[in-house]
Amino acid sequence: MHTTRRNFLKISLATTVSATAAISPAIRAATTRHVIVIGGGIGGSTAAKYLRLMDDRIKVTVIEPKSHYTTCFMSNEFLGGERDFKSLQFSYAGLARHGVDLIQDRVTAIDADKQQVKTAGGQTLHYDRCIVSPGIDFRWEAIEGHSAELAERIPHSYQAGPQTLTLKKQLEAMPDGGTVIIAPPANPFRCPPAPYERTSQIAHYLKTHKPKSKILVLDDKPNFSKQKLFEAGWKRHYGYGSSNSMIEWISVDNGGHIESIDPKTNTVSAQADDFKADVINLIPPQKAGRLAFQAGLTDTSGWCPVDHQTFESRIHKNIHVIGDSAIAAPLPKSGYAANSAAKVCAAAIVSLFNDTDIIHPSLINTCYSLIAPNDAISVAMVYGFEKGKIIKMKGAGGLTPEDASDQMRAREAAYAHSWFNNMTHDIFG
């Protein structure tokens, strides 16, 4: 094989016009580089698409057992009765259009030394680099009597899909005047404001359909994300703090920690007391996704340490970990952060393949929470890179101001819906 200068020019031109090109790879690899992406969630799908956008000479294979993805974000709005379940579901056709190969299968093992991935379907695939984006798994053992099987009946609904539907059905079947328990876990866990957005959305559903019902939040933390804004929102919409409040929040300091669950009586034993409920949404404490453990990518924290510039595992070479499984603090475990980190990781892999300088990461996180229709709050941050670490940019970011007008909060809600459309289009479109 011989690369002529003319060919070379053609190639560099082709890569230059690619709008998202992180760099213009000036060198044509003699062999096709193969990146295997394990997990077709937010991190994995974004990385796969952007690898192809940045350098379409790279062969990209996504291995994912599910035929489509259901987004966690906005699934609370479905619980609130303001969104169709279908609108949360996305197929992988978009990735295929970008030239990504899809294998619907489950990875059983990664051999970091041989750079091989084995699947349940019996395939063995070689990779030059592997991106692992396995999401989260649960520490069932932390709650006595709980298990993955029980979660089919007492759902966490924290990996959107069948359990989201289960929770919705349970809410619909519940009598007016019933009690819903929502139990958020201790830190760190996926999408810190989500349990409280869920509380708001379920309160909205109950207020509309079953106004005599109550929500009891049994929290394993002394405080939570966007707390002041949530509490003010609950006060505004759901009587929080009054004798007629729809929502009661019990912090860990007041005995919110759950020790065990009894599915026969639908009762949880918290430190404060035993609580019986009609619907229990128990969100167990979390750790990195199953595959991260199997592949030995986790440390004692139960999460995956990574290089902040490339998201390459600090344990195994040529394997990158992105999304909620990775520890890249101060980067939060959020959908936006996973999307942003996936692009940084893709750009780094393109640079590594082409032996060019790795570009300094720049990331954003913007996370909206819908408290009620036309009322949303947000938290945002811009992340830079300094001395080998991802850092929060000074003076940037923060929360919706506490005195934001109704008009601005309504705009946030409109922007939250736009965020959903753009985010999912960016990943799956």
Partner 1 sequence: MLKPHVFSLLLMAGLCSSSPTQADPPTTASMLANACAACHGLNGSSQGPATPSIAGISAVYFIDAMTAFQEDERPATVMNRIAKGYSEEQIELMAEYFSQQPMIRTDQPFDPELARKGDALHQNNCEKCHENGGRASDDDAGILAGQKIPYLRYTLDDILNGKREVSVKMANKLKTIHKSMGQDGIEQLLNYYASQK
* Least CB distance to partner 1 at residue 316 (A): 16
Residue with smaller CB distance to partner 1, 137 or 312:
312
* Least CB distance to partner 1 at residue 365 (A): 9
Q: Are 376 and 412 in contact (CB under 8 A)?
A: yes
Instruction: Identify each DSSP E strand in 22-133 by its residue range.
Output: 34-38, 59-63, 68-70, 89-91, 101-103, 107-111, 116-119, 124-126, 129-132
Residue with smaller CB distance to partner 1, 119 or 378:
378
* Least CB distance to partner 1 at residue 409 (A): 9
Q: Are 185 and 285 in contact (CB under 8 A)?
A: yes
**Reduced to 3 states, what is the DSSP secondary structure of residue 58?**
coil
* Least CB distance to partner 1 at residue 314 (A): 18
* Least CB distance to partner 1 at residue 20 (A): 6
CA distances 44 to 69, 279, 310, 336, 346, Å, are 11, 33, 15, 13, 10
Residues β-bridged to residue 107: 119
Residue with smaller CB distance to partner 1, 254 or 362:
362
> What does the binding site for partner 1 look like in residue numbers (CB under 8 A)?
1-5, 8, 19-23, 26-27, 29-31, 50, 336, 339-340, 343-344, 347, 352-353, 355-364, 366, 378, 380-385, 393, 395-398, 400, 408, 411-412, 414-415, 417-419, 421-423, 425-426, 429
Comparing CA positions, the residue from 413, 340, 426 lying closest to residue 381 is 340
Residue with smaller CB distance to partner 1, 110 or 376:
376
101-103 and 59-63 beta bridge pairing? parallel
* Least CB distance to partner 1 at residue 13 (A): 15
Give the pair of three-digit tokens for residue 148: 């993955």
* Least CB distance to partner 1 at residue 352 (A): 5
Comparing CA positions, the residue from 137, 139, 153 lying closest to residue 262 is 153
* Least CB distance to partner 1 at residue 339 (A): 5
Residue with smaller CB distance to partner 1, 251 or 339:
339
Comparing CA positions, the residue from 13, 19, 94 lying closest to residue 53 is 19
Residue with smaller CB distance to partner 1, 40 or 184:
40
Amino acid occupying residue 408: M
Q: In what order do the strands lie in the sheet with 258-262?
A: 258-262, 267-270, 274-276
Q: Concatenate the DSSP letters of all residues of 386-429 into one string.
A: ETTEEEEPTT--EEPPTT--HHHHHHHHHHHHHHHHHHHHHHH-
Residue with smaller CB distance to partner 1, 163 or 340:
340
* Least CB distance to partner 1 at residue 304 (A): 22
Residue with smaller CB distance to partner 1, 13 or 109:
13
**Reduced to 3 states, what is the DSSP secondary structure of residue 118?**
strand
Q: Are 342 and 44 in contact (CB under 8 A)?
A: yes
Residue with smaller CB distance to partner 1, 175 or 388:
388
